[in-house]
Amino acid sequence: MVGRLLADVLVGGIAVGAVYGLMALGLVLVYKTTEIVNFGHGDMATLCTFVAYALAVQWGVPLPGAVLLSLVCAAALGLVVEWGLLRPARVRHATVLGLVVATLGLALILNGFVGMAWGHDVKTFPFLWSGPPLQLGPASFPLDQILNLAVAVSLAAVLYGFFRYSRVGVAMRATISNQTAAHLVGIPVDRMFALSWAIGSALGAVAGILAAPVLYLEPNRMVDLLLKGFAAAVLGGMDSLPGAPVGGVALGVLENLAGTFGSLELKASLAFLLIVVALALRPQGLLGSYRQRRV
């Protein structure tokens, strides 16, 4: 009995952690490329999730098509934010703190827009895959958890191939490594910035859509997912793309263990506790690199 409970807790934690990892991956990608922590990431995901909801539930678009169109909207939103908000601020030599505050303003604007467009009542998002759970030995695998894992692993593999083998991916890696050197060898750094925002926004939208059937939909509901994604990014390393999914899975498993064998209050505050512990003991995260800067 204990073995089955532990297996269910671990499977559930890994599935939830995969969603945290996707949210963290979008944060880390933008941070590594532009050195900006995007605090509007959660509200961008919220808006795109509501777009998918409107297409599927209100306008009758088949769910796969609605999800695909919402991801296109997410990528376009990332491009608009980078082109229309952050690039003009960078040209005028805005400080990093100023750019971060701009993302906070973006979060408030998007939150207000979603509230005006869809209201503040809780809405139910349809499950992307439903049916009886899959039983393998002592563990029970709900289909939505299997989908979360499959999507997270597939996206991680696609991103690995993109960054490893494609010319654009290699150019993005060069930009991430050294912006000045990338510019000198002819890489369009501004385009790489825009692409990182588009991909990061799409990853956040995927995380929001996967979490929406369980979290339900409400303008402020993705704030918790953003905080968990941020905790996963800090835990894995803000400058480490592989660290984002590792931190997400670790957080998801620890949360489930704390909620099952501890208390719900501990589960709710565990993400913040991990942020404090990680910053105190290993500021660079599990897989992040330690960098010294001369001021």
Helix 143-165 vs helix 167-177: angle between axes, to the nearest 10 degrees?
Answer: 80
pLDDT band (50, 70, 90) for residue 266: confident
Asked if pLDDT for residue 255 goes beyond 90, the answer is: no
Q: Alpha-carbon distance 209 to 65, whole Å?
A: 13
**Tell me, what's the pLDDT at 257?**
85
CATH of domain 2-281: 1.10.3470
| Least reliable range by pLDDT among 111-115, 136-140, 190-194 | 136-140
Which tokens go with 115? 């509230």
Main-chain dihedrals φ then ψ at residue 28, nearest 5 degrees = -65, -40
pLDDT digits (tens, 9 = 90+) for 200-212: 999 999 999 999 9
**Tell me, what's the pLDDT at 295?**
39
pTM of the entire predicted model: 0.91
Q: Which amino acid is at 212?
A: A
**Tell me, what's the pLDDT at 294?**
44
Contact predicate 95/188, CB 8 Å: no
pLDDT band (50, 70, 90) for residue 275: confident
| Least reliable range by pLDDT among 74-78, 127-131, 237-241 | 127-131
Q: Alpha-carbon distance 32 to 132, whole Å?
A: 41
pLDDT digits (tens, 9 = 90+) for 25-53: 999 999 988 888 899 999 999 999 999 99
Give the mean model confidence (pLDDT) for residues 215-221.
84
Enclosing H/E stretch for 39: none
Give the residue, 285 or 105, on which the prediction is more confident.
105
CA dihedral angle for residue 158, residue 164, residue 166, residue 168, rounded to 10 degrees? 100
> Would you list the domain boundaries of the chain?
2-281
Nearest of 269, 252, 220 to residue 122 by alpha carbon: 220
Q: Alpha-carbon distance 229 to 42, whole Å?
A: 9
| Least reliable range by pLDDT among 102-116, 123-137, 181-195, 228-242 | 123-137
**Tell me, what's the pLDDT at 1?**
58
Q: Which amino acid is at 185?
A: V
pLDDT > 90 fraction of the chain, expressed in percent and rounded: 40
pLDDT band (50, 70, 90) for residue 3: low
CA dihedral angle for residue 86, residue 87, residue 93, residue 96, rounded to 10 degrees? 30
- Mean pLDDT for the chain? 87
pLDDT band (50, 70, 90) for residue 146: confident
| Least reliable range by pLDDT among 11-25, 54-68, 128-142, 150-164 | 128-142
Residue 108 exposure: Cα atoms within 13 Å on the Cβ side = 5
Contact predicate 14/250, CB 8 Å: no
SS3 labels along 68-82: HHHHHHHHHHHHHHH
Residue in this structure with the two tokens 């960078």, named with its chain if needed: 90
pLDDT band (50, 70, 90) for residue 141: confident
| Least reliable range by pLDDT among 8-22, 62-76, 120-134, 176-190 | 120-134
Contact predicate 236/285, CB 8 Å: yes
Give the mean model confidence (pLDDT) for residues 147-173.
90
Residue 4 exposure: Cα atoms within 13 Å on the Cβ side = 7
